[in-house]
Structure 1
Amino acid sequence: MRRLNTFFLLLACAYASAQNINDVVRYSTESLQGTARYQAMSGAFGALGGDLSALNANPAGSAVFNHGLFTITGSKNRQQNDATYFSSFNATTINAFDLNQLGGVFVFKSRNDNWKKVSLAFNYDMARSFDNETYITGNSDQGIDNYFLNFAGGVPFGDLLLQDNEFLEEAYLDIGASYGYAEQQAFLGYFGGIIDPMDESDNNNTSYISNARYSTVNQRYFESTTGHNGKFTANLAGQYGDNLYLGASLNFHNVLFEKLSQLTENGFDSDSEIKNTSFDNLLRTQGNGFSFSLGAIGKVGDNLRVGGSYQSPTWYNLSDETSQKINSDLADDDISFINFNVVNVFEKYTIQTPAKLTGSLAVIFGQQGLISLDYSYQDMSKAKIKPTADPSFSLENNIIAKELGGVSTLRLGGEYRLAALSLRAGYRYEQSPYADGNTVGDLNGYSAGIGYNFGGSRLDFSFSEATQDYRKSLYETGMPTPVNITNKNSVFSLGYTLNF
């Protein structure tokens, strides 16, 4: 009989899969991406418009254009993570290059006395890049055995045993589909040699013990994430009279996210039967999302602009696939057949991120420059994982409502023009999405840039950097001491705009 190497549908609960509060925060958060001019001013464009990425702040912004144009932007993204775990420190840096913005706008003059012009814009922005790496080491008193013990507690030992003529990988998939994720992890811990039942002769046994002996254990953990949340915007806007701009956008998201985590342990007590363990996990999420936005910009006199916009909830339709590998000195001989080729496929689910409101103010100093300010608010406690009728999703939604809170975002940008040369700078602040303010800290960032107008075209360069602290548990249970991580994200962008 051929060994199993296939996909299998898991009807597992949200609690133990990737479908949890972490996903809500991940897909509700957009980084500072877009055109180089937009990034140089920290995205403070809600009352300005006149930039393709300004559609992210206010869809009325395309009506500010006086002529059609095309813009393309490429970026170098540098992620640095400084991690502290049980007094051990590690720094990890990764660089990535992306084409993070591409779009154009068409402007049509109107013969209507009220509607001066109408614009039609199409733009792609990488709302967020997921490329990142973190390396963590430490001498911990919480080994991976606790992870498996927590899942195994209460699971009948008989449910974990192989059936006649059943392969190990077949049982792994079947247990996940029939019983759920907790039973599947208990199975993995038992055949991985990490845990044993208290009474191996009793199929009704529900208590388990660890095979690892240690006061502290050396742990090395590596996590790599890749992928993107790309957003394509179709926009229609118009200028009504001399002082009012109105617009609406349809936003289509494309999501690809992969996370690889690898844990190794050694340094157990001398009398421990287990001397080495390894536990690897691979998650792949893909899907799409949809949202819409409405906005307006008004002129108040010659120098003042005000703007307001509404960003609807984003509805993401996602699917997850997971794979695992485990090994130890006491593992079953066939444990290697459970590997990344044996894939758990979860049912599709929906994440609904909260709506966002933005108010904006800008002061224009004629042809010399401008200062712009945006304020946004988003109540993260309103996020949902659906279907809400699923008991596990209902439990997770209660956690979301309790642990997440309102997010205020402030963006300030300015531009000073010297003939064809433009100098730009900006600052942004984003409140933690967590009510405690500690799980993920507040984000602070600054930016600067320069642009040169050739007449029919423009070249822009920007640099932005943002810093944010967060606390991360290596696993969802069994290892409660978090890693303290400081993330610094630095982005260099170069953009080219062609007028037509």
Structure 2
Amino acid sequence: MKKLFLFIGVLSMSFMSAQDMTDALRYSQQDILGTARYRAMSGAFGALGGDLSALQINPAGSAVFLNSHGSVTISTSHIDNDVNYSDRLANRDSRNLNFNQVGAVFIFDHYNDDAIINKLSLGLAYDQTANNVNEFAAFGRSSNSIDNFFLAEAQGLPLDLISRRSGESIDQLYSFLGESEGYATQQAFLGREAFVIEATDVDNPNNTSYFSNIAPGVFDQEYYYESTGLNGKFTLNGGAQINQVFYVGFNVNSHFINYDRVTEFFEGNNNAGSNVNEVTFTNKLSTTGGGFSAQIGGIAKVSEMIRLGASFESPTWYYIEEETTQRLETFSDTDGRSIVDPDVINIFPEYKLRTPAKATGSIAILFKQHGLISLDYSYKDYSTTKLSSDENISFSNLNREINDNLQGASTIRIGTEWRVENWSIRGGYRFEESPYKNDLILGEKTGYSVGTGYSFGKFKIDIAYDYSEQERTEQFYPNSGFNNAALVDSQMRNLTFTFGMNF
């Protein structure tokens, strides 16, 4: 049974080591994994509506429905990661099946063409906003050792602080350091307890300088990453048709986060004079959170062919909780194996995350009942992402880093649909700018999609395939003394099935 402890809120600088800019960005991004029709057109629905996932882009889309409608969607996902670390290539993929959309819109007609309000709509929907299942591995050779991670955290700390007293267990001191000193000091303790680092003067309890037991040279390294979970939101929607040509709507959204990650780093060396020849460092993170946001939007029939749409999504205000566990193992050719495995779960104080707002403008060209072309443009300023706390924890340094490194990013989505009797043929393209000023950290995302559907009248079946690709630099331990990283090229493939029904 794991012991539990809570970091004291006033330890702001130590607490900061547990959160970084990557975490803030991960929960600020949304990618509606909606209906097959929506995905087949790459999500370009801001001026169209008439689809359950379309109202996640523009809430006015619910009032476009001619009849009450419901749908349910499942999808398969396949992520293929090509990893380059120190000019060595590795490939690993992950697959999973998701229940990623369900919802219904209820239409209330006034049946009076002369009325100002011609139609009212009420929508209830669930949409998955992120698939957190991912896996990759990196293999390479480096002259930079993991010992730098532990040395950077230890320098300046008194030896007495990270040394066990007589009769004191690893669990007890690891827990004490977390409660009283913070996450960074725990790392220094792990490094010394596993003999990765040692004090310059072991007989001086006030010693504050440390050296590595790993000799310089060449290091064979392996890094494994595996994450699971999903993010999603539940939506309550209301809409109206006005004067036959205007549609307006609003959403109130309840969001949730479920993200779990395991990383394991292995390093081996045969360097002359090295007292430690192998290091295995395992970290587990579990994140849960909940939040809320609101949306408002409108669609206008400019003519029989042209529709314009505009929508605004407020920031999402999240409350997030995180837990971590750690394990460090070393091996020496002369002294054997040392295992430091604290039987402790680090429970961090709850913090608040405010994600950026998003504005979307849309245009659609309709060719009567034969087909359509649709374009959406969205803008989201990621530099406005902010972390805060009710526990008197300061995130000023991290917020400054976010402001300095993130930027406003544009997204363009283009979709088309053509009808032949009861069949529909669809396609789409999307382009998303990097939220980073330096796009070597996270590159642009591009993708395309195709799909088809068949209407039986009351019932409808749709299928879609979409592909996207994005490169990123995966730093193994961000904001630490060990800055090694791998280049990850991810290709995402999804196959989506939707069953819809009018009622």
TM value normalised by structure 2 = 0.95
Following superposition, the deviation at residue 155 of structure 1 comes to 0.9
Partner residue in 1 for 2:46: 46
Aligned match for 1:497, one of 479, 496, 500: 500
The letter of the residue matching 1:282 is K
Alpha-carbon distance, 1:175 to partner: 0.5
In structure 2, relative to structure 1, the CA distance for the partners of 1:99 and 1:442 (3 Å cut) is same
1:44-100 deviation per Cα after TM superposition (whole angstroms, max 9, x unaligned): 000000000001210000000011111011100001111111111101111010011
Indicate conservation of the 8 Å contact 1:125/1:232, yes or no.
yes
1:154 match: 156
Displacement of 1:389 in angstroms is: 9.1
Give the aligned residue type for 1:499.
N
Residue 376 (structure 1) aligns with: 378
- How do 1:32-431 and structure 2 match up within 5 A? 32-110=32-110, 113-329=115-331, 335-338=339-342, 341-387=343-389, 392-431=394-433
Q: What amino acid sits opposite 1:302 in the alignment?
A: E
In the TM superposition, residue 333 of structure 1 has moved relative to its aligned partner by: 8.3
Instruction: Select between 271-280 and 484-493 the one with higher mean Cα deviation.
Output: 271-280
Q: 2:31 corresponds to which letter in structure 1?
A: S
Per mean C-alpha deviation after superposition, the further-off stretch among 250-259 and 10-19 is 10-19
Greater CA deviation, 397-406 or 214-223? 214-223
Counterpart in 2 of 1:480? Answer: 483
- Which moved further from structure 2: 264-273 or 10-19? 10-19
Give the alignment's Cα RMSD to 1 decimal.
Answer: 1.7
SS for the counterpart of 1:169 is: helix
Deviates more, 1:17-26 or 1:257-266: 17-26
One-letter identity of the residue aligned with 1:73: T
Tell me by how many angstroms 1:163 deviates: 3.1
- Structure 1: how far apart are the matches of 2:175 and 2:336? 17
Q: Which runs of 5+ in 2 are unaligned?
A: none
Q: Separation in 1 of the partners of 2:187 and 2:194?
A: 10
What is the deviation of 1:388? 8.9
Unaligned runs of 5+ in 1: none
Residue 329 of structure 1, CA deviation = 2.4
- Cα pair 1:357 1:377 within 8 Å, conserved: yes
Matched residues, percent identical? 39
**Distance in structure 2 (CA, Å) of the matches to 1:13 and 1:83:** 35
The answer as to whether partners of 2:193 and 2:340 remain within 8 angstroms in 1 is no
Moved more, 385-394 or 421-430: 385-394
Counterparts of residues 456-467 of structure 1 (less than 5 Å): 456-467=458-469
Aligned match for 1:445, one of 421, 444, 447: 447
1:374-422 C-alpha deviation (Å, 9 max, x unpaired): 0000111001011399564111000000000001000000001001000
Alpha-carbon contact 1:473-1:479 (below 8 Å) kept: no
AA in 1 matched with 2:500: T
The yes-or-no answer on 1:27 pairing with 2:51 is no
CA distance in 2, matches of 1:392, 1:192: 32
How many aligned residue pairs are there?
495
Q: Which of 2, 6, 9 does residue 9 from structure 1 map onto?
A: 6
Q: Tell me the amino acid that sits aligned with residue 109 of structure 1.
A: D
Q: What residue identity is the alignment partner of 1:267?
A: N
SS at match of 1:329: strand
Query: In structure 2, how many angstroms separate the alpha carbons of the residues matched to 1:346 and 1:329?
Result: 31
1:164 positional shift: 4.1
**Structure 2: distance between partners of 1:146 and 1:323:** 21
TM-score w.r.t. length of structure 1: 0.96
